[in-house]
Amino acid sequence: MLDFPSKTIKSIKDLLLKQKKEVEKEIKEIQKEDPAKEEVLAESSEPGTDSYIADAHTRVMALGEQLNKANKNIQLALSKIGKGTYGKCENCGKQIEVGRLMAMPTASLCLSCSKAQK
């Protein structure tokens, strides 16, 4: 059984919800910026702009993938809080250091396991 003071869990949850909002906002923003969206493509029919658009589109896609991954991790952490399994190291099963979780609320490994993985 993991032993977190409910106050700690609450502040971590607040942190996660705040991060979730930010990530979701960023996802929306980069989608707006994607030049490969149809309406933008229709406007820029000049020759020679295609590769620029493709490059920018690739960048936006990569960034979007990162943000989606971050969003997924946040949701996973939130569901773990709901189930009461939050803060358990996925490798050794020990409780992850509270300080580490406060700094990185989506951490799924304890400090020593994450060091061992590198």
- Interface with Zn ion by CB under 5 A: which residues? 89, 91-92, 110, 113
Residue (89 or 107) nearer to Zn ion, CB: 89
Residue (78 or 89) nearer to Zn ion, CB: 89
Provide, rounded to whole angstroms, the least separation between the CB of residue 109 and Zn ion.
Answer: 5
Provide, rounded to whole angstroms, the least separation between the CB of residue 83 and Zn ion.
Answer: 19
Residue (61 or 102) nearer to Zn ion, CB: 102
Exposure string for 42-67, b = 16+ CB within 10 A, e = fewer: eeeeeeeeeeebeeebeebeebeeeb
At a CB cut-off of 8 Å and minimum separation 6, what does 108 contact? 73, 76, 77, 89, 90, 96
Provide, rounded to whole angstroms, the least separation between the CB of residue 75 and Zn ion.
Answer: 22
